[in-house]
Chains A and B, each alone.
Chain A
Amino acid sequence: MTDTEAPRRGTSRVSRLARRRGVTTGLLLTPPMLWLGVAYLGALAALLVTSLWTQDDFTGQIQRTWTLQNFRDLFTIDVYRTITVRTLSIAALVTVIDAILAFPIALYMAKVASPRVQRLLVIAVLMPLWASYLVKAYAWRGMFSEGGLISWLAAPFGLNTPGYGLVATTIVLAYLWLPFMILPVFAGLQRLPDSLLEASADLGAHSWTTLRRVVLPMAFPALVAGSIFTFSLSMGDYIAVRIVGGTGQLIGTVVYSNIGAANNLPFAAAVATVPVAVMLLYLAVVRRTGALENL
């Protein structure tokens, strides 16, 4: 009797321990899960709900009646359609520019640089993130000004600064988000075994062929991972465009002016759902490339 009881008592102790461990895990996870659920997803839900309300034009009061009018306006009024297309184009352009700039830098960091130089470069890439976003945007404003650094550099070639506008906005956004492209691509290329590059050369491929047939296809998921950052950050930005964009409007500035000057929170919310929807669509498309494992 005793020798059958001993293991039973043992298992019950084990299961009680496991249950207690489960409780501990649950308690530890509750605060972050609350944060994620309430503050993060809750805010998104609130955004969506608000976008379905409307605003009294006279009193400026929010009327909590369900309507799709905001979305109807968004899709039918030409100026909003233009701004949406313009914002997506700039976000795409910024992403392409960042990918083109980041790839050689990341390749050098991951496969050519010595460990020492590699560490220095990682710090150099991260360093701009330590400075305030506003400071960097204003620094670019100074550079784009008449008689600023860019016009001075361009003058010998008979060129001038592009001035404040969408070109300047694209350049500043590409600058701001470049680290977010470099780091995932660098990490992706670091995981690429050297022996694959050697095998390619060994089988008769020149460097460019190896780059095209082995390195690029294998770095592609990492590039897509970086593009998730650059694309979404560009789509939602409103500060850079206000500082160097001149009179140009993007989705971010439309949201901003509808919250501020126009005080139309429901319409601002409807505009703000556009980047969210585009990003969800984008994620659904790129999921197949394995990019989400590279984030």
Chain B
Amino acid sequence: MSTAIALRGLSKHFDEVRAVDDLDLEIADGEFFSMLGPSGSGKTTVLRLIAGFEQPTSGTITLDGEDVSSRPPFARDVNTVFQDYAIFPHMSVRQNVEYGLRVKKVPRADRRRRAEEALATVRLEGYGERRPNQLSGGQRQRVALARALVNRPKVLLLDEPLGALDLKLRREMQIELKEIQRDVGITFVFVTHDQEEALTMSDRIAVFNEGRIEQLATPVELYEAPASAFVAGFVGTSNLLAGDVARSLVGAEGTFVIRPEKVAMSAPEAAPPAGPSTCVARGVVREVVYLGATTHSVVHLDAGVTLTVSHQNTDRSIDAALERRDQPVVLTWQRDHLVSLGGPGPDPVASPEEETA
């Protein structure tokens, strides 16, 4: 597969702040690529550098084999869906969608037809004559998407486009965006701080932290085999076992991650014995959090660490679970479900808080 975008040694410094720090990245043609990270991690800056709104401090941006580093935005074959949609309020929906074709002097009839097609792609047929202020947030989002897609760019850049939508609409749009991307076959570069969104849609995800990529992997790899404590903490909920705790529970040096759904909880008397492939730890349930489909139990282990355990509410076991608060329990997990991060344990203060948005 050929390369759509290649970033080489890309840096962007704002005074003393290294927003993007010596970045190397290749995005393949037709890929749905996500850049995930907390705010201020540099992901949006990378997007703005690709679009041409910012000039790199150093490094090059290659688009479809051409170096576009010093080109202005209007001379790059990319289009952007902005976080605030940036719909022109003084134009109708159709005029908005036709804007890119109009400034490129595409004949009127051709323009009309392509705008209609683009509006149909985002399921907004018949909305052409509406004014932007007559549209809902989700509809504006679709207009912004149609306005970008109508130009058939080499790459579509999306800057947290679903951030302003409510959860239900966001989930619908996630699936729809993925379908549209498959249909049009354009490379999508999607910026988000929502790990669930990134996991849902992406072919590959780059996790950003402090201007650098912490890990570049498929969603499954990212979740099942996080490369660092930062990635483990940012993508999904995770339990870190480090130092003495790792030594006593795992019997090995280093830092380990175990996902909450891979830990089983049982009463002390029903506990299975520890074995070569099973780890067993005793503790007390501190908190039970009911989340509808799942229940999270926060367990303080005798070894001196707090783990989160999740289980599906497949039966009506919630009453039993709630009664477990302050009760002693035994946690067990398979040894091969542990992911070793290697090296010394991370500073627990520095581990990022989980994003649930």
Contact = CB atoms under 8 A, between A and B. Distances in A.
Q: Which bracket fits the contact residues of B?
A: 20 to 34
Nearest to A218: B90
Nearest to B103: A205
A195 B103 contact: no
Contact of B88 (A201, A202, A204, A214): A214
A193 B84 contact: yes
A203 B90 contact: no
B147 A203 contact: yes
Nearest to A220: B90
Interface string B29-66: 00000000000000000000001110000000000000
A201 B78 CA distance: 11
Contact of B73 (A195, A202, A214, A217): A202
B187 interface: no
Interface residues of A, number: 17
B316 interface: no
A209 interface: yes
A193 B87 CA distance: 10
A213 B83 CA distance: 22
Contact of B82 (A195, A204, A209): A195
A72 interface: no
B209 interface: no
B189 to A, nearest CB: 13
Nearest to A196: B86
A198 interface: yes
A199 B104 CA distance: 14
Given A198-B73, A214-B88, A203 B53 contact: no
B86 A201 contact: no
A196 B91 CA distance: 12
Contact of A217 (B72, B80, B90, B99): B90
Contacts of A204: 74, 100, 103-104, 151
10 contacts: A195-B82, A198-B51, A198-B80, A198-B86, A200-B103, A201-B72, A202-B148, A203-B100, A213-B99, A213-B103
A209 B88 contact: no
A206 interface: yes
A201 B73 contact: yes
Determine which residue in A199, A203, A213 has the highest number of CB atoms from chain B within 10 A of its CB, and name it. A203
B107 interface: no
A206 B52 CA distance: 13
Contacts of B82: 195, 198-199
Nearest to A205: B103
A199 B148 CA distance: 9
Contact of A202 (B79, B83, B89, B104): B79
A58 to B, nearest CB: 62
B84 A201 contact: no
B80 A199 contact: yes
Nearest to A217: B90
Contacts of A193: 84, 86
Given A203-B79, A204-B151, A206-B74, A198 B53 contact: yes
A202 B74 contact: yes
Contacts of B83: 195
A261 to B, nearest CB: 51
Contacts of B79: 202-203
Given A213-B103, A217-B90, 18 more contacts: A193-B86, A195-B84, A195-B86, A196-B86, A199-B88, A200-B99, A201-B52, A201-B53, A201-B73, A201-B74, A202-B73, A203-B79, A203-B147, A203-B151, A204-B74, A204-B103, A206-B74, A214-B88
